[in-house]
Amino acid sequence: MDDLLSLDVVLCFLGTLVGVILASVWWKKRDVVAPRDPYTGVAVLQSSFTGGEIPCVSPSTGEVVGKVHAATPNEVEQCVARARKAQGEWMKTSFADRRAVLREVMDYVVENQEEICRYSVVDSGKTLMEAEYGEILTTCEKLRWTIKYGEACLRRQSRSPPLLLFLKKAWVEWIPLGVIGIIIPWNYPFHNVASAVTAAIFSGNAAVVKVSEYSAYSASFFGSIFRRALAMRGHNPDLVQLITGYGDTGAALCKSKGVNKIFFIGSPEVGKKVMETAATNLTPVTLELGGKDPLIIFEDADFDQGCECAMRGCFINNGQNCVAAERIYVHEAIYDKFVRVMGEQVRALKQGSPLCGERVDCGAMTMPQQLDKVEGLVNEAIAQGAQLVAGGTRRTDTKGLFLQPMMLTNVTHDMRIVKQETFGPVMLVIKFKDVEDVIAKANDSEYGLSCSVFSNNLKKAEDVARRIASGMCVVNDFGVGYLIQALPFGGVKASGFGRFNGPEGLQSFC
């Protein structure tokens, strides 16, 4: 971690964390005119669209907590047109104006973090602590970094002409593209919206965001946070549009001639469809398509740290993270100890509804289909010889989507569970012999999003990291690269192309 985090980032991280903790003491409730659900306590918001009905089901309880409607293709075009009109004025704003809007958003997020977290919990089933970390802290850091460093990333940059043109001047200007079409998944309902919208509008663009049908309940509220900030600072709130719908709604956004770029987070299968549809108008795309990330623990690593990060990498948000540690490679000298220690810790995890008032380690999964997929992959692997060390049972005593966190050993690379992105609460533990063996295994995947390498020999760890085909790598930690917003985020191979976050992310919208 020391070789990744500068002192400035550490101090800002701690400052954000302290602010989030203090805000929980003096939290002020948002005045919402919509009625509140008696079970969840959050406001019930209605969609203004007229397409098919989308039932909003809490994955923790199986209860229908509301309904919204999908945007029709015509309504998608109307949203794009409103956004484009607003962007014509917004692109003329100064960076100071844009910072003021983001500060307004930041203040609102910190003051209303409890309500934001509850919406996230209702939509996704994650625990309140996971929402606090994944929705609030990461979003505050995104806003803080953009406010502090965004202008420098987009300021005009001088370039050197050749000697024969020594009297000439050359420079690059980052001109906003126009309207960014954003299609995001359900695993972090607020942060996925906030991160993409923050980058889009700070770089001078409008944002039209199509959310997943599995996070449609919170969409109107989360969109209103940015629209409110724009209005309070005297700008047209139509700059940010949130649309709900199914696949055809997303396809309509990709087909729109009024969209200048598509930013998509999802699966490789859907990403190919997005790219194919966007190609009709030669609309450029950035695709982040998930991963099958390896986490490698050498025999000379800090064992306790490796175990802690493996638990976090596999089970935070029930493994529903694009950079989840989906393959744990452990050196043969410490393999048996690791399996014993991790087995005890996995069995000790407490799972339940995050809205029930009890303290739980893991909440619910979000999608019924995803639970079925994970359960099917696990059962198939066990039938092929994998050993279930802990967990693995689907709960039948509740309507919620609960699959016990589990640990599998004796898995091999010819099993589908090792090849496909699982996106669930599964720890796969695989033994390796030496550096060459683990590099070959780590690279034996169609994905290449991120990886983690643990060793007290930093030169060895960094050498191994460079030889793994992935867009990002963390040494002796897990997941911290995303919180360092100065770093670009993205993958290679089937994990997609293009980058978001950092200077590269802002500049990609120009």
The SS3 assignment for 465 reads helix
Cα(217)–Cα(210) distance, rounded to whole angstroms?
13
Residue 427's H or E segment, with its range, is strand 426-432
Q: Determine whether 130 is an active site residue.
A: no
Helix axes 219-232, 189-202, angle to 10 degrees: 30
Q: Determine whether 314 is an active site residue.
A: no
Q: Contact, 196 vs 142, CB < 8 A?
A: no
Task: Report the DSSP beta bridge partners of residue 171.
Answer: 158
Cα(299)–Cα(343) distance, rounded to whole angstroms?
19
Candidates 322, 362, 451, 473; catalytic one = 322
Residues 6+ apart with CB under 8 A from 59: 124, 125, 364, 365, 366, 367, 400, 401
Candidates 114, 288, 326, 421; catalytic one = 288
Please state the three-class secondary structure of 49-94 as a single string.
CCCCEEEEECCCCCCEEEEEECCCHHHHHHHHHHHHHHHHHHCCCC
Provide DSSP, 230-297: HHHTTS-GGGEEEE---HHHHHHHHH-TT-SEEEEES-HHHHHHHHHHHGGGT--EEEE----EEEEE
Q: Which two tokens stand for residue 334?
A: 């410490």
Q: Contact, 494 vs 160, CB < 8 A?
A: no
Catalytic residues: 288, 322
